Amino acid sequence: MQDEPTPTELIKAVADFLRNEITPVIKGHNGFKLRVGINALDLVTRQLALAEACDATEAARLKALLGADGSLMELNRALSEKIASGEVDLTTPGLAEHLWQTTMDKLAVDQPNYASYKREQET
């Protein structure tokens, strides 16, 4: 196993090459498909950098909120069931904060240039 370059560095290098060297010479529908591919590489880079920590903090919040243990998927399913049954709602202590932070963490990976996300980051 190599230490350098990291998978993140490799993906970023490919995305930068495509963005800076190839995009200027590709036009039309192929140019669009190229930009989609570059965006996918950028998304994977953000996932590698952020998702593990975000998932861990989300799971910790869910465990505290639900008083239960389990995988992130199981905890989210349990929360969804409690919301659907009316057992918890936005008056439940910690729920609104959890939902807000989870949304912000997902936007950091999926849509970091989303205007409303950027505005919220500035506050």
Q: At what angle do helices 115-122 and 95-110 cross, to 10 degrees?
A: 120
pLDDT tens digits for 34-44? 999 999 999 99
Structure tokens at 12: 């970023």
What is the chain's mean pLDDT, rounded?
A: 96
Structure tokens at 95: 């729920």
Question: Would you list the domain boundaries of the chain?
Answer: 7-122
Structure tokens at 90: 């936005």
CB 68 within 8 A of CB 76: no
Determine the average pLDDT of the residues in 70-81.
98
Determine the length of the chain: 123
Q: Note the Cα 112 to chain centre separation in Å.
A: 9
pTM assigned to the model: 0.82
In the predicted model, what is the mean pLDDT of residues 73-101? Answer: 98
